[in-house]
Each structure stands twice: as C-alpha cells, then as structure tokens.
Amino acid sequence: MQMEKRKDKWNDLFELAMYATAAVCFVYFWVKGIPAKMFQAVLIVAVLLIIRFVVKITKTTMFAALRFSVLLFIFITMFLANEFGFYKVIPYLDKIEHLFSGLILCFVGLMIYMKASEGEKAAVPNAKVAVWFCLFFSIAMAGVWEIYEYTTDSLFGLHSQNGSLVDTMTDIICGTISAIVTSIYLAFKAKQRKMPLIDVQS
C-alpha cells in the first residue's frame, strides 16, 4: 500500500508537470502566432481535467500503474506527437501509440466492468464476460478516438489523420490487434484464476 501511494505521488508530479508544460506551450505558440498549437495545449489540459472529473464522479480508484500509463500515453500522443511534431522524427510513432492504446483501454474496460458489477450484490463477476467486455470496449474506443481526431481536424484545421482513410483504418486495426492480444492474455490469466486487478469466477 505504501509503495502504491509513493508511485501515485510521482504520478501527481508527472501530471502537474504536464499542466505546466501545456501552459508554457500555450504562451510560446501565442507569441509565435500559431492558433492550432495553442488549441492543442488547451486540449491537453481539457483531457487531463476530464479524466480527473470522470474518476471523481464515478468514485473509481485508478491504480498507479494504469494512471502512469494513461498519463504517459497523453504525453506521447498530445505533446510529443502533435505539439512538438515528433511524427516526423520517430517512424511509425502513430501506429505505436495505437498499439499501446489497445492495451490501456482493455484495462480501463476491466475497471469499468468491475465498477458496474459493484452494485449487483448477488452477482459474481464473470471472467469470460469481463474479457469480452474489455475486448469490445477497447475496439469501440479505437473508433471513438478516430471520430475525435476527424472532428478536431475538420473544425480546427489540425492534421491528426493526415486527411487519409488509410491512416484512419490502420490506426483502428493497430488498436484492435493490441486489444485482441491483451484480451487473450486476460483470458489466459483468468483460467489460472490470476486475472489482473480482480479475482473473478471463470
């Protein structure tokens, strides 16, 4: 428990640093006169605040490793890739991000499933149902993310999707592959009655 709290303090510092970096980016690109980059900095803060809001209203405790993974994903995708233009520096960075997202979203789906099961006093969480929920949730969110990118690109002149259907579909495919692999891992652990985060009945 003490180790978990220590890790979460590092997460607090990481998140605080991201707020500070977003503020610096906003001012810098304001001086440079680049509205799209200024808006990207605002989006980063908005995403961080939305995550905090959702966690608070749902009274969900996000364990330290998952929170770090989510913060790191936001840092890579929204800071390095979009704000600082690392797509041109690191080959296939976009695809790596979507592979990573499939894994994270499976564990988020697992948390959602367990949270939804808390109100059912007579129900016992079922490993098979949990795995299927994780899989479909992760794949669905891959599609939702592409809708988000398309919307922000269209409204604010960003270039997250490079105006390409091929880019959109390969992103969804990468997220789906990662979700399938992670779900297979969860199913394997469930058979051993060692599913991460929870102890469920198979």
- 3-class SS letters over 57-119: HCCCCCCHHHHHHHHHHHHHHHHHHHHCCHHHCCCCHHHHHHHHHHHHHHHHHHHHHHHHHCC
Residue 16, SS3?
helix
Given pLDDT bands bounded at 50, 70 and 90, which one contains residue 5? low
Distance between CA 159 and CA 145 in Å, rounded? 14
Type of residue found at 18? M
Within 13 Å of residue 118, how many CA atoms lie on the same side as its CB? 10
pLDDT at residue number 177: 95
Inter-residue contact 94 to 171 (CB < 8 Å): yes
pLDDT at residue number 197: 60
pLDDT at residue number 7: 64
Type of residue found at 143? G
Residue 61, SS3?
coil
Distance between CA 116 and CA 153 in Å, rounded? 34
Which residue would you say has higher pLDDT here, 25 or 148? 25
Given pLDDT bands bounded at 50, 70 and 90, which one contains residue 200? very low
> pLDDT above 90 covers what percent of the chain?
36
Given pLDDT bands bounded at 50, 70 and 90, which one contains residue 59? confident
DSSP assignment of 126-184: BHHHHHHHHHHHHHHHHHHHHHHHHHHHHHH---TTTT-HHHHHHHHHHHHHHHHHHHH
Type of residue found at 104? I
Inter-residue contact 107 to 196 (CB < 8 Å): yes
Distance between CA 192 and CA 55 in Å, rounded? 30
**How many Cβ atoms from other residues are within 10 Å of residue 175's Cβ?**
28
Virtual torsion, Cα 150, 155, 156, 158, nearest 10 deg: 20
Residue 201 has pLDDT above 60, yes or no: no
Q: Could you tell me the pTM of the whole model?
A: 0.71
Distance between CA 167 and CA 159 in Å, rounded? 11
Is the torsion defined by CA of 25, 26, 31, 35 positive or negative?
positive
Residue 50 has pLDDT above 80, yes or no: yes
